[in-house]
Amino acid sequence: MKVCLIEPSKFVSLTNFVSTISMPPIGLAYIAAAIREAGHDVSVVDGPGSAPRSYHMFEDKVRIRGLTQDQIIENIPSDTQVIGLGCMFTSHWVYARKLVSKIRQRFPKSYLLMGGEHVTGFPEFSLEQAPLDSVVMGEGEETIIQLLEHVEKNLPLDDVCGIAYKDSEGVVKVNPRRQRIKEIDSIAQPAWDLFDIKKYNEVNQPHGSSQGKFMPMLATRGCPFSCTFCTSPNMWTTEWIPRDHKLVVDEMQEYQNLYDATDFQFEDLTAIVRRDWIIDFCDEIINRKMEVTFQLPSGTRSEGIDFEVAEKLKKAGCHEFSFAPESGDPRVLKEIKKKVNLPSLYDSARSALKAGINVGCFFIIGFPEDDYRSVLKTYAAMVKCAWVGFTNVNLNAYSPQPNTESFKMLQKMGVITEFDDKYLMSLFT
Protein backbone atom coordinates (compact mmCIF):
# COMPACT_ATOMS: atom_id res chain seq x y z
CA MET A 1 0.00 0.00 0.00
CA LYS A 2 1.02 3.61 -0.44
CA VAL A 3 1.23 5.23 2.99
CA CYS A 4 1.94 8.85 3.92
CA LEU A 5 2.85 9.71 7.50
CA ILE A 6 2.45 13.26 8.80
CA GLU A 7 4.08 15.06 11.69
CA PRO A 8 1.75 18.04 12.27
CA SER A 9 3.28 21.46 12.81
CA LYS A 10 3.61 22.49 16.46
CA PHE A 11 2.41 25.14 18.86
CA VAL A 12 5.27 27.28 20.07
CA SER A 13 5.57 29.85 22.86
CA LEU A 14 8.56 31.43 24.54
CA THR A 15 6.84 30.84 27.89
CA ASN A 16 6.57 27.09 27.22
CA PHE A 17 10.10 25.66 27.12
CA VAL A 18 9.17 22.26 25.68
CA SER A 19 7.42 23.91 22.73
CA THR A 20 10.64 25.64 21.62
CA ILE A 21 12.45 22.32 21.09
CA SER A 22 13.06 21.37 17.46
CA MET A 23 13.83 17.65 17.29
CA PRO A 24 13.36 15.05 14.55
CA PRO A 25 10.23 13.01 15.45
CA ILE A 26 11.69 9.69 16.55
CA GLY A 27 8.31 8.02 17.07
CA LEU A 28 7.17 8.71 13.51
CA ALA A 29 10.57 7.62 12.17
CA TYR A 30 10.23 4.24 13.92
CA ILE A 31 6.71 3.75 12.52
CA ALA A 32 7.90 4.68 9.01
CA ALA A 33 10.69 2.11 9.26
CA ALA A 34 8.28 -0.62 10.38
CA ILE A 35 5.88 0.12 7.51
CA ARG A 36 8.67 0.11 4.95
CA GLU A 37 10.15 -3.10 6.31
CA ALA A 38 6.74 -4.74 5.83
CA GLY A 39 6.93 -3.94 2.11
CA HIS A 40 4.74 -0.85 1.86
CA ASP A 41 5.60 2.38 0.04
CA VAL A 42 5.95 5.08 2.70
CA SER A 43 6.51 8.83 2.47
CA VAL A 44 6.66 11.49 5.19
CA VAL A 45 5.44 15.07 5.50
CA ASP A 46 7.31 16.62 8.41
CA GLY A 47 5.42 19.81 9.25
CA PRO A 48 7.85 21.28 11.82
CA GLY A 49 11.04 19.96 10.21
CA SER A 50 10.26 21.11 6.68
CA ALA A 51 9.97 24.77 7.72
CA PRO A 52 11.54 25.10 11.18
CA ARG A 53 12.05 28.88 10.83
CA SER A 54 8.54 29.61 9.56
CA TYR A 55 5.80 30.78 11.94
CA HIS A 56 2.13 31.54 11.51
CA MET A 57 -0.94 31.94 13.71
CA PHE A 58 -3.58 29.28 14.27
CA GLU A 59 -7.07 30.80 14.53
CA ASP A 60 -5.46 33.99 15.89
CA LYS A 61 -4.85 32.17 19.17
CA VAL A 62 -1.44 30.52 19.18
CA ARG A 63 1.74 30.63 17.12
CA ILE A 64 2.59 27.60 14.98
CA ARG A 65 6.06 26.54 13.84
CA GLY A 66 6.34 24.76 10.51
CA LEU A 67 4.28 24.27 7.37
CA THR A 68 0.74 25.60 7.20
CA GLN A 69 -2.03 23.02 7.05
CA ASP A 70 -2.57 23.74 3.36
CA GLN A 71 1.16 23.23 2.70
CA ILE A 72 1.09 19.92 4.57
CA ILE A 73 -1.84 18.71 2.47
CA GLU A 74 -0.16 19.85 -0.77
CA ASN A 75 2.80 17.60 0.07
CA ILE A 76 0.69 14.45 0.46
CA PRO A 77 1.09 12.30 -2.69
CA SER A 78 -2.16 12.32 -4.66
CA ASP A 79 -2.33 8.52 -4.89
CA THR A 80 -1.88 7.91 -1.15
CA GLN A 81 -4.10 5.11 0.13
CA VAL A 82 -3.43 5.45 3.87
CA ILE A 83 -2.63 8.66 5.75
CA GLY A 84 -1.34 8.48 9.32
CA LEU A 85 -0.74 11.32 11.74
CA GLY A 86 0.79 11.61 15.20
CA CYS A 87 -0.57 13.59 18.14
CA MET A 88 1.49 13.36 21.30
CA PHE A 89 0.08 16.21 23.39
CA THR A 90 -3.63 16.69 24.05
CA SER A 91 -3.04 20.44 23.88
CA HIS A 92 -2.35 19.98 20.14
CA TRP A 93 -5.60 18.13 19.51
CA VAL A 94 -7.52 21.25 18.44
CA TYR A 95 -4.96 21.83 15.68
CA ALA A 96 -4.66 18.16 14.69
CA ARG A 97 -8.43 17.77 14.54
CA LYS A 98 -8.78 20.59 12.04
CA LEU A 99 -5.91 19.21 9.96
CA VAL A 100 -7.59 15.79 9.83
CA SER A 101 -10.85 17.39 8.66
CA LYS A 102 -9.03 19.22 5.86
CA ILE A 103 -7.24 16.04 4.82
CA ARG A 104 -10.53 14.16 4.72
CA GLN A 105 -12.00 16.79 2.39
CA ARG A 106 -9.01 16.51 0.01
CA PHE A 107 -8.66 12.71 0.31
CA PRO A 108 -12.19 11.37 0.84
CA LYS A 109 -11.28 7.78 -0.09
CA SER A 110 -8.00 7.46 1.82
CA TYR A 111 -7.87 5.57 5.11
CA LEU A 112 -7.11 8.04 7.94
CA LEU A 113 -5.50 6.95 11.19
CA MET A 114 -3.68 8.56 14.11
CA GLY A 115 -1.30 7.41 16.84
CA GLY A 116 0.34 8.94 19.88
CA GLU A 117 -0.31 9.61 23.53
CA HIS A 118 -3.39 11.78 22.97
CA VAL A 119 -5.43 9.19 21.06
CA THR A 120 -4.13 6.45 23.36
CA GLY A 121 -5.62 8.32 26.31
CA PHE A 122 -8.77 9.51 24.50
CA PRO A 123 -9.62 7.00 21.72
CA GLU A 124 -13.43 7.39 21.76
CA PHE A 125 -13.22 11.16 22.10
CA SER A 126 -10.77 11.41 19.21
CA LEU A 127 -12.82 9.23 16.85
CA GLU A 128 -16.01 11.11 17.68
CA GLN A 129 -14.45 14.54 17.14
CA ALA A 130 -12.45 13.92 13.95
CA PRO A 131 -13.12 12.03 10.69
CA LEU A 132 -10.54 9.36 11.51
CA ASP A 133 -11.09 5.73 10.56
CA SER A 134 -9.01 4.34 13.41
CA VAL A 135 -6.47 5.21 16.09
CA VAL A 136 -3.46 3.21 17.25
CA MET A 137 -3.07 2.94 21.02
CA GLY A 138 0.31 2.52 22.69
CA GLU A 139 3.43 1.10 21.07
CA GLY A 140 2.69 1.12 17.35
CA GLU A 141 5.16 -0.87 15.26
CA GLU A 142 3.39 -4.24 15.35
CA THR A 143 -0.10 -2.76 15.47
CA ILE A 144 0.30 -0.59 12.37
CA ILE A 145 1.52 -3.53 10.27
CA GLN A 146 -1.45 -5.72 11.20
CA LEU A 147 -3.83 -2.80 10.69
CA LEU A 148 -2.45 -2.08 7.20
CA GLU A 149 -2.78 -5.75 6.28
CA HIS A 150 -6.43 -5.76 7.32
CA VAL A 151 -7.17 -2.50 5.51
CA GLU A 152 -5.46 -3.72 2.34
CA LYS A 153 -7.39 -7.00 2.33
CA ASN A 154 -10.61 -5.39 3.57
CA LEU A 155 -10.70 -7.68 6.60
CA PRO A 156 -12.70 -7.02 9.80
CA LEU A 157 -10.75 -5.02 12.40
CA ASP A 158 -12.16 -6.65 15.51
CA ASP A 159 -9.11 -8.90 15.95
CA VAL A 160 -6.48 -6.13 15.59
CA CYS A 161 -5.25 -5.53 19.13
CA GLY A 162 -4.19 -2.02 20.01
CA ILE A 163 -6.65 -0.02 17.91
CA ALA A 164 -9.97 1.76 18.23
CA TYR A 165 -12.03 2.28 15.08
CA LYS A 166 -15.38 3.17 13.58
CA ASP A 167 -17.36 0.21 12.26
CA SER A 168 -19.45 0.26 9.08
CA GLU A 169 -22.26 2.01 10.95
CA GLY A 170 -19.99 4.64 12.42
CA VAL A 171 -20.01 3.14 15.93
CA VAL A 172 -16.75 3.45 17.85
CA LYS A 173 -15.17 0.13 18.87
CA VAL A 174 -12.19 -0.12 21.24
CA ASN A 175 -10.19 -3.34 20.91
CA PRO A 176 -8.03 -4.85 23.68
CA ARG A 177 -4.55 -3.39 24.03
CA ARG A 178 -1.59 -5.13 22.43
CA GLN A 179 1.19 -6.58 24.55
CA ARG A 180 4.45 -4.65 24.56
CA ILE A 181 7.15 -5.77 22.13
CA LYS A 182 9.60 -7.90 24.11
CA GLU A 183 12.34 -8.29 21.51
CA ILE A 184 12.90 -4.60 20.94
CA ASP A 185 16.25 -5.23 19.26
CA SER A 186 14.24 -6.67 16.35
CA ILE A 187 12.55 -3.31 15.71
CA ALA A 188 13.83 -1.58 12.57
CA GLN A 189 15.96 1.50 13.14
CA PRO A 190 14.22 4.85 12.54
CA ALA A 191 13.84 5.75 8.86
CA TRP A 192 15.80 8.99 9.16
CA ASP A 193 16.46 9.07 5.41
CA LEU A 194 12.85 10.28 5.03
CA PHE A 195 13.55 13.38 7.15
CA ASP A 196 15.71 16.48 6.62
CA ILE A 197 18.17 16.00 9.48
CA LYS A 198 20.34 18.84 8.18
CA LYS A 199 17.57 21.41 8.73
CA TYR A 200 17.11 20.32 12.34
CA ASN A 201 20.81 20.76 13.00
CA GLU A 202 20.82 24.17 11.32
CA VAL A 203 18.13 25.37 13.73
CA ASN A 204 20.07 23.72 16.58
CA GLN A 205 17.36 23.58 19.26
CA PRO A 206 17.58 20.05 20.68
CA HIS A 207 15.93 18.83 23.86
CA GLY A 208 19.11 19.22 25.91
CA SER A 209 21.99 21.63 25.49
CA SER A 210 23.64 21.72 22.08
CA GLN A 211 27.05 20.12 21.75
CA GLY A 212 27.33 19.88 17.97
CA LYS A 213 25.40 18.00 15.31
CA PHE A 214 22.84 15.94 17.19
CA MET A 215 20.59 12.93 16.70
CA PRO A 216 17.75 11.65 18.88
CA MET A 217 18.12 8.11 20.23
CA LEU A 218 16.24 5.53 22.26
CA ALA A 219 18.25 3.04 24.32
CA THR A 220 15.26 1.76 26.30
CA ARG A 221 11.48 1.74 26.12
CA GLY A 222 8.97 2.28 28.87
CA CYS A 223 9.20 3.22 32.53
CA PRO A 224 8.80 0.88 35.52
CA PHE A 225 7.02 3.49 37.63
CA SER A 226 3.37 4.52 37.80
CA CYS A 227 3.24 8.21 38.70
CA THR A 228 -0.38 9.33 38.93
CA PHE A 229 0.07 12.41 36.71
CA CYS A 230 2.00 10.69 33.91
CA THR A 231 0.64 9.28 30.64
CA SER A 232 3.40 6.65 30.42
CA PRO A 233 1.59 3.87 32.36
CA ASN A 234 -1.28 4.06 29.87
CA MET A 235 0.88 4.54 26.77
CA TRP A 236 3.71 2.12 27.55
CA THR A 237 2.49 0.17 30.62
CA THR A 238 5.02 -0.05 33.46
CA GLU A 239 7.43 -2.39 31.70
CA TRP A 240 10.96 -1.07 31.13
CA ILE A 241 12.88 -2.86 28.37
CA PRO A 242 16.51 -2.03 27.48
CA ARG A 243 18.07 -2.61 24.10
CA ASP A 244 21.34 -4.49 23.69
CA HIS A 245 23.87 -1.83 24.65
CA LYS A 246 26.22 -2.86 21.82
CA LEU A 247 23.49 -2.32 19.24
CA VAL A 248 22.80 1.12 20.68
CA VAL A 249 26.45 2.05 20.24
CA ASP A 250 26.42 0.56 16.73
CA GLU A 251 23.54 2.91 15.89
CA MET A 252 25.45 5.88 17.29
CA GLN A 253 28.42 5.05 15.06
CA GLU A 254 26.12 4.70 12.06
CA TYR A 255 24.80 8.22 12.66
CA GLN A 256 28.35 9.49 12.97
CA ASN A 257 29.01 8.16 9.46
CA LEU A 258 25.70 9.18 7.87
CA TYR A 259 25.02 12.55 9.49
CA ASP A 260 28.36 13.59 11.04
CA ALA A 261 26.59 13.38 14.41
CA THR A 262 28.72 14.06 17.47
CA ASP A 263 26.00 14.57 20.11
CA PHE A 264 23.20 12.16 21.00
CA GLN A 265 19.98 13.12 22.73
CA PHE A 266 18.55 10.07 24.50
CA GLU A 267 14.81 10.59 24.65
CA ASP A 268 14.20 7.60 26.95
CA LEU A 269 11.46 7.96 29.54
CA THR A 270 13.81 6.55 32.18
CA ALA A 271 17.23 5.80 30.77
CA ILE A 272 19.03 4.76 33.96
CA VAL A 273 17.19 1.98 35.77
CA ARG A 274 19.76 -0.82 35.85
CA ARG A 275 23.22 0.15 37.02
CA ASP A 276 24.88 -2.72 35.17
CA TRP A 277 23.32 -1.71 31.86
CA ILE A 278 24.53 1.88 31.99
CA ILE A 279 28.06 0.77 32.97
CA ASP A 280 28.19 -1.73 30.09
CA PHE A 281 26.91 0.96 27.72
CA CYS A 282 29.55 3.47 28.84
CA ASP A 283 32.33 0.86 28.66
CA GLU A 284 31.32 0.03 25.08
CA ILE A 285 31.70 3.68 24.04
CA ILE A 286 35.00 4.00 25.91
CA ASN A 287 36.44 0.77 24.47
CA ARG A 288 35.59 1.87 20.93
CA LYS A 289 37.39 5.18 21.60
CA MET A 290 34.44 7.15 20.27
CA GLU A 291 34.63 10.93 20.45
CA VAL A 292 31.00 11.72 21.22
CA THR A 293 28.84 13.50 23.73
CA PHE A 294 25.41 12.46 24.91
CA GLN A 295 22.78 13.59 27.36
CA LEU A 296 19.61 12.36 29.05
CA PRO A 297 17.40 15.47 28.97
CA SER A 298 14.05 13.81 29.71
CA GLY A 299 14.89 12.99 33.31
CA THR A 300 16.41 9.92 34.87
CA ARG A 301 16.53 8.10 38.19
CA SER A 302 18.97 9.00 40.93
CA GLU A 303 19.15 5.56 42.56
CA GLY A 304 21.56 4.14 40.00
CA ILE A 305 24.02 7.02 40.07
CA ASP A 306 26.91 7.17 42.49
CA PHE A 307 30.37 8.66 41.90
CA GLU A 308 31.66 5.52 40.16
CA VAL A 309 28.76 5.54 37.69
CA ALA A 310 29.00 9.32 37.25
CA GLU A 311 32.71 9.10 36.42
CA LYS A 312 31.97 6.36 33.90
CA LEU A 313 29.21 8.43 32.31
CA LYS A 314 31.47 11.46 32.03
CA LYS A 315 34.32 9.46 30.53
CA ALA A 316 31.95 8.02 27.91
CA GLY A 317 30.80 11.51 26.92
CA CYS A 318 27.72 12.26 29.04
CA HIS A 319 27.68 15.97 29.79
CA GLU A 320 24.14 16.54 31.09
CA PHE A 321 21.16 14.80 32.61
CA SER A 322 18.20 15.75 34.74
CA PHE A 323 16.33 14.42 37.74
CA ALA A 324 12.57 14.82 38.06
CA PRO A 325 11.46 14.68 41.70
CA GLU A 326 8.46 16.92 40.81
CA SER A 327 7.69 17.84 44.45
CA GLY A 328 9.73 18.79 47.49
CA ASP A 329 7.14 17.39 49.91
CA PRO A 330 7.47 13.69 50.90
CA ARG A 331 3.71 13.53 51.50
CA VAL A 332 2.92 14.67 47.97
CA LEU A 333 5.59 12.37 46.53
CA LYS A 334 3.90 9.43 48.19
CA GLU A 335 0.43 10.43 47.01
CA ILE A 336 1.49 10.94 43.39
CA LYS A 337 3.43 7.63 43.53
CA LYS A 338 6.71 9.32 42.74
CA LYS A 339 9.25 6.97 44.26
CA VAL A 340 11.98 9.47 45.03
CA ASN A 341 14.13 9.85 48.12
CA LEU A 342 15.15 13.52 48.13
CA PRO A 343 18.30 13.19 50.31
CA SER A 344 19.54 10.36 48.04
CA LEU A 345 18.78 12.47 44.99
CA TYR A 346 20.92 15.32 46.32
CA ASP A 347 23.75 12.85 47.01
CA SER A 348 23.55 11.51 43.45
CA ALA A 349 23.60 15.06 42.10
CA ARG A 350 26.72 15.86 44.12
CA SER A 351 28.43 12.79 42.65
CA ALA A 352 27.51 13.78 39.10
CA LEU A 353 28.54 17.40 39.59
CA LYS A 354 31.85 16.27 41.09
CA ALA A 355 32.42 14.14 37.99
CA GLY A 356 31.86 17.18 35.79
CA ILE A 357 28.33 16.47 34.55
CA ASN A 358 25.72 19.22 34.39
CA VAL A 359 22.64 18.27 36.40
CA GLY A 360 19.15 19.71 36.02
CA CYS A 361 15.99 19.20 38.04
CA PHE A 362 12.26 19.33 37.24
CA PHE A 363 9.55 20.39 39.67
CA ILE A 364 5.78 20.80 39.35
CA ILE A 365 3.43 22.84 41.51
CA GLY A 366 -0.35 22.73 41.52
CA PHE A 367 -0.89 19.00 41.98
CA PRO A 368 -4.39 18.22 43.32
CA GLU A 369 -2.54 16.93 46.41
CA ASP A 370 -0.68 20.23 46.90
CA ASP A 371 -1.44 22.79 49.56
CA TYR A 372 0.46 25.93 50.51
CA ARG A 373 2.75 23.96 52.84
CA SER A 374 3.76 21.49 50.12
CA VAL A 375 4.32 24.29 47.62
CA LEU A 376 6.61 26.03 50.12
CA LYS A 377 8.49 22.74 50.56
CA THR A 378 8.91 22.51 46.80
CA TYR A 379 10.34 26.02 46.69
CA ALA A 380 12.64 25.06 49.55
CA ALA A 381 13.78 22.02 47.55
CA MET A 382 14.57 24.30 44.63
CA VAL A 383 16.70 26.45 46.93
CA LYS A 384 18.43 23.28 48.13
CA CYS A 385 19.17 22.39 44.49
CA ALA A 386 20.82 25.77 44.03
CA TRP A 387 22.86 25.26 47.20
CA VAL A 388 23.96 21.78 46.04
CA GLY A 389 25.02 23.29 42.71
CA PHE A 390 22.45 22.02 40.19
CA THR A 391 23.07 23.54 36.77
CA ASN A 392 19.41 24.42 36.20
CA VAL A 393 16.02 23.97 37.83
CA ASN A 394 12.77 23.94 35.87
CA LEU A 395 9.39 24.69 37.47
CA ASN A 396 6.13 23.87 35.67
CA ALA A 397 2.45 24.12 36.50
CA TYR A 398 0.52 20.84 36.83
CA SER A 399 -1.78 20.03 33.93
CA PRO A 400 -4.18 17.05 34.04
CA GLN A 401 -3.33 14.82 31.09
CA PRO A 402 -6.04 12.49 29.73
CA ASN A 403 -6.44 9.01 31.13
CA THR A 404 -3.91 9.43 33.90
CA GLU A 405 -4.79 8.35 37.41
CA SER A 406 -4.76 11.97 38.51
CA PHE A 407 -7.05 13.00 35.66
CA LYS A 408 -9.57 10.29 36.52
CA MET A 409 -9.56 11.40 40.16
CA LEU A 410 -10.37 14.97 39.11
CA GLN A 411 -13.19 13.68 36.92
CA LYS A 412 -14.62 11.70 39.83
CA MET A 413 -14.40 14.77 42.06
CA GLY A 414 -16.29 16.81 39.46
CA VAL A 415 -13.38 19.18 38.85
CA ILE A 416 -13.12 18.17 35.19
CA THR A 417 -16.55 17.85 33.64
CA GLU A 418 -16.06 18.60 29.94
CA PHE A 419 -13.34 18.71 27.32
CA ASP A 420 -14.09 21.80 25.27
CA ASP A 421 -11.49 23.62 23.23
CA LYS A 422 -10.81 26.08 26.03
CA TYR A 423 -9.83 23.22 28.34
CA LEU A 424 -7.71 21.53 25.69
CA MET A 425 -5.81 24.73 24.89
CA SER A 426 -5.27 25.41 28.60
CA LEU A 427 -3.03 22.35 28.72
CA PHE A 428 -0.57 24.25 26.51
CA THR A 429 -0.79 27.74 27.95
The residues near 169 (Cβ < 8 Å, ≥ 6 apart) are none
| The pLDDT of residue 418 | 79
Nearest to 112 by CA among 6, 17, 211: 6
- The answer, yes or no, to whether residue 18 has pLDDT greater than 90, is no
The C-alpha atoms of residue 424 and residue 216 are separated, in whole angstroms, by 28
For the cut 80, the answer to whether the pLDDT of residue 320 exceeds it is yes
> pLDDT-derived band of residue 77, with 50, 70 and 90 as boundaries?
very high
CA-to-CA distance for 36 and 30, rounded, in angstroms? 10
Residues 259-266, mean pLDDT to the nearest whole number: 95
Residue percentage of the chain with pLDDT more than 70: 100
Enter the pTM of the model.
Answer: 0.95
Per residue, what are the HEC states of 123-136? HHHHHHHCCCCEEE
Amino acid at 36: R
d(Cα 80, Cα 402) in Å, to the nearest integer? 31
**What is the pLDDT at residue 429?**
66
Q: Which of 86-95, 155-164, 375-384 has the lowest mean pLDDT?
A: 86-95
Per-residue pLDDT of 210-235, as tens digits, reads: 788 999 999 999 988 899 999 998 89
What 3-state class would DSSP assign to 24?
coil
Q: For residue range 106-155, what is the model confidence (pLDDT) as tens digits?
A: 999 999 999 999 999 999 999 999 999 999 999 999 999 999 999 999 99
User: 414: left (phi > 0), else alpha (psi -120 to 50), else beta?
Assistant: left
Q: How does residue 304 score in pLDDT terms, banded at 50, 70 and 90?
A: confident
The Cβ-side half-sphere exposure at 174, using a 13 Å CA radius, reads 13
Write the pLDDT tens digit of every residue in 330-372.
Answer: 999 999 999 899 999 999 999 999 999 999 999 999 999 999 9
Q: Evaluate if residue 303 carries a pLDDT over 80.
A: no
Residue 170 CB contacts under 8 Å (≥ 6 apart), including other chains: none
Per-residue pLDDT reduced to its tens digit, 380-420: 999 999 999 999 999 989 988 877 999 999 999 999 887 78
